[in-house]
Amino acid sequence: MVVTTTRADTGEPLYSTFASRYVRASVPRFKMPERSIPKEAAYQIINDELMLDGNPRLNLASFVTTWMEPECDRLIISAINKNYVDMDGYPVTTELQNRCVNMIAHLFNAPIGEDEIAVGVGTVGSSEAIMLAGLAFKRKWQNQRKAEGKPHDKPNIVTGANVQVCWEKFANYFDVELKEVKLSEGFYVMDPVKAVEMVDENTICVAAILGSTLTGEFEDIKLLNHLLTEKNRETGWSTPIHVDAASGGFVAPFLYPDLEWDFRLPLVKSINVSGHKYGLVYAGVGWIVWRNKEDLPEELIFHINYLGSDQPTFTLNFSKGSSQIIAQYYQFIRLGFEGYRSIMENCMENAKALKEGIQATGRFEIVSGDVGVPLVTFSLRDSSRYTVFDVSESLRRFGWIVPAYTMPAGAEHMALLRMVIREDFSRSLAERLVSDIRKVVADLDGRWARTAIVAEVKAEEKPGGVVAYRKSVRETTQQQEIDGDRRGRVDRKKTSGVC
């Protein structure tokens, strides 16, 4: 892009394509520069460096939305200078958030009437939403234990080892023990039976995942609700359920309306969902909704009046932008139930096409199931020559960002590739990706064959007539490098941080 400006000293127009027309010396990286530079130069310097980033549309590692309609883009830009926390100054934005909360509550079958107000709040993302939900459960459990005169200093949460890293953060930051149900071969989500066995009197909630980060699968929350109800009846406890629907909350209601996972189950007291995933909004916005007002302890809600009228707030941060909340409301009224269902159906069809293309190569084993969020996870059938980490790295040459990772405890021997299918991933892109995967596999096969130990074997005559065979130094060194690289990649442990 050509930037046009005018020199202040001469009035001469300057057509500048590159910032070096303005700035000869490199810009300091870690200290603020002493002098100002023209806005065109600042823009070009940053823009040039950002070209080295990956293409968000080809980033299949992330669930996060990477495309919205131009009309919504304009709404986002127009609201980018609004601080959401100033509710008195921006009452319409506050009203739009409340409408979103109520729409989500009804979508999740909360027990509220048509004219009742749901209990919930918009957050920066599901991580903040989970922190708020966990705090509510912890405080309610502590209050109950205090009222009963029992110890209240060792709370715990039961969840699966496939849990997202934000749950580990909550447990660490807020001094709660995280009791994880290990995975098992062929079963890569939390087992409800084992989870309920781990529940004790100090369990503040069982956290179930609707849309596992690792494989996209839904956990059996209906069975969990049944088993936990029986245990509560036997023990006299009242252990509740929280549903982490970050990925699946905007998928299940449209694709699997008869699946019971939400507030239709009595023990489900709160649900979080990411608006910036299948809610179809740019990062970052999340939502947390409670079943009833009684499930959110009043003492966690703060009231301020120094920005205007009395304003209740329950967030971890204070200031945040209004744009994503407005964008979420735009998507709700623009698409409606019909539009969301159509988009999710198309995502699943594209995921199915991608899965079939990957299976047709004959080189991979599909791990993800047919019911869940639109993604494909798969492993190599034969990892003796190269690993999924090699495949991931090779796909970068074509612009694709595809994560490779090892599974958590109980299935740590497995290493997978994962491809998340979003609204902006078309059928033609799926076909191109399969084609590129075939190229990568063929290239890795050829590379392995060239470095395999099948080259010349030299024979030497030794004293006494003994013939010794040895590999060339070059061949031995190459194979050592390959084996070392393979071991290093397989040993990498990156599971719960995958997003």
Give the 3-state secondary structure of 449-489: HHHCCCCCEEEEECCCCCEEEEECHHHHHHHHHHHHHHHHH
Q: Give the closest residue to 375 by CA, choosing from 420, 310, 309.
A: 420
Q: Give the closest residue to 373 by CA, choosing from 221, 212, 209.
A: 212
Q: Distance between CA 433 and CA 221 in Å, rounded? A: 34
Residue 391 · residue 381 · CB < 8 Å: no
Q: Give the closest residue to 131 by CA, choosing from 260, 324, 300, 276.
A: 300
- SS3 (DSSP) at 444: helix
Residues 6+ apart with CB under 8 A from 214: 162, 188, 377, 405, 407, 408, 416, 418, 495, 498
pLDDT tens for the chain, residues 1 to 499: 444 444 444 444 444 455 556 666 777 889 998 888 888 888 888 888 899 999 999 999 999 999 999 999 999 999 999 988 877 788 899 999 999 999 999 999 999 988 889 999 999 999 999 999 999 999 999 999 999 999 999 999 999 999 989 999 999 999 999 999 999 888 999 999 999 999 999 999 999 999 999 999 999 999 999 999 999 999 999 999 999 999 999 999 999 999 999 999 999 999 999 999 999 999 999 999 999 999 999 999 887 665 555 567 788 887 888 999 999 999 999 999 999 999 999 999 999 999 999 999 999 999 998 999 999 999 999 999 999 999 999 999 999 999 999 998 888 889 999 999 999 999 999 999 999 999 999 999 998 877 764 444 444 445 555 444 444 443 443 444 444 444 454 454 444 444 5
Amino acid in the structure at residue 497: G
Q: Distance between CA 430 and CA 453 in Å, rounded? A: 36
Q: Using CA atoms in the order 113, 116, 121, 127, what is the torsion angle rounded to 10 degrees?
A: -20
Residue 376 · residue 358 · CB < 8 Å: yes
Read off φ and ψ for residue 220, nearest 5 degrees. -80, 85
pTM of the model: 0.86
Q: What is the separation, in whole angstroms, between the first and last Cα of the chain?
A: 34
**Can you state the angle between helices 388-395 and 427-451, rounded to 10 degrees?**
120
CA distance to 19, 20, 43, per residue, from 6 (Å): 14, 16, 16
Q: What single-letter DSSP state applies at residue 321? A: B
> Each residue of 319-342: b (16+ CB within 10 Å) or e?
ebbbbbbbbbbbbbeeeeeeebee
The Cα diameter of the chain in Å comes to 101
